[in-house]
Structure 1
Amino acid sequence: MTKFYLLLTAFLGGSGVILGAFGAHGLRGKVAENLLEAFKTGVHYQLIHALALFGVALLMQQWGERMALLVAGALFAAGVLLFSGSLYGLTFGGPRWLGPVTPLGGSLMIAGWAALFVAALNLSR
């Protein structure tokens, strides 16, 4: 699973940079300012959680594939998919039901940080 999380980190990081550049150069003046800001927020959180996932993978290398780390990584990945993905979809005129998906993705990200906290608490065991 460590290798998978590292591959996902590379994908999320690389695609986050590409999407950020696209937003800065390809979307300005083409979408409403509030949608451009939402897009930027999606990119920002994607990049932050790519780094978080990288940290999880590194910790798994050192501590082993503990359940709390596996859960943290899965929650970070799902959170990015739902949070950033819904913001990207809304920017490009996706269905309105994507709006309520965004906070669900954010909640998954928060839960990922909680799982990482649990992993740290259990470190001495």
Structure 2
Amino acid sequence: MNWLSLAAINLTLCIATGAFAAHGLKARLSVEQMAWWQTAVGYHTTHALGLLAIGILLRFSPSLSPSLPAAGLNTSALLLQLGIVIFSGSLYAMALGAPRWFGAITPIGGLAFMAGWLWLAWAVSK
């Protein structure tokens, strides 16, 4: 997987979703829905930057550290991307009117984020 490209796409989506909320949704969303949306954008952005960092590590790690395990970095990136889809995706959906029970899957995305960062810590400690 080309994590640099996926990071760039995610970061573009972060800008688009933030601007969409500020200019297109602000008058339509409740304060609570806007808070969900902003939380989604914040976590989306943070973890898209994490994907960017992992992509850079994968691109340049052979010259920096031949022992850095690419499989561990790829697993970490996959978990961060999964977290973006589940955590931020569920909050975006709820803000747009999905049933409130939809938020029950949000913590699964949070667990994927934590697992991704821990996996990264393990991968770079080798």
TM over 0.5: yes
Runs of 4+ in 1 over 6 A off after TM superposition: none
Aligned residue number for residue 65 of structure 2 = none
Matched to 1:67, the amino acid is A
**Alpha-carbon offset, residue 98 of structure 1:** 1.8
Aligned residue number for residue 52 of structure 1 = 50
Aligned residues: 120
**In structure 2, the residue corresponding to 1:110 is in which secondary structure?**
helix
Q: CA RMSD in A?
A: 1.2
**Identity over aligned residues, as a percent?**
35
- Between the aligned partners of 1:31 and 1:37, the Cα distance in structure 2 is 9
CA deviation string 1:71-101 (max 9, x = no partner): 1100000000000000000011113342111
**In structure 1, the residue corresponding to 2:75 is in which secondary structure?**
helix
Aligned residue number for residue 99 of structure 1 = 103
Runs of at least 5 residues in structure 1 that lack an aligned partner in the other structure: none
Runs of at least 5 residues in structure 2 that lack an aligned partner in the other structure: 63-68
Q: Match for 1:114 among 86, 109, 118? A: 118
Q: TM-score, normalised by structure 1?
A: 0.90
Return 76-85 or 27-36, whichever deviates more: 27-36
Aligned residue number for residue 8 of structure 1 = 6
Q: TM-score, normalised by structure 2?
A: 0.90
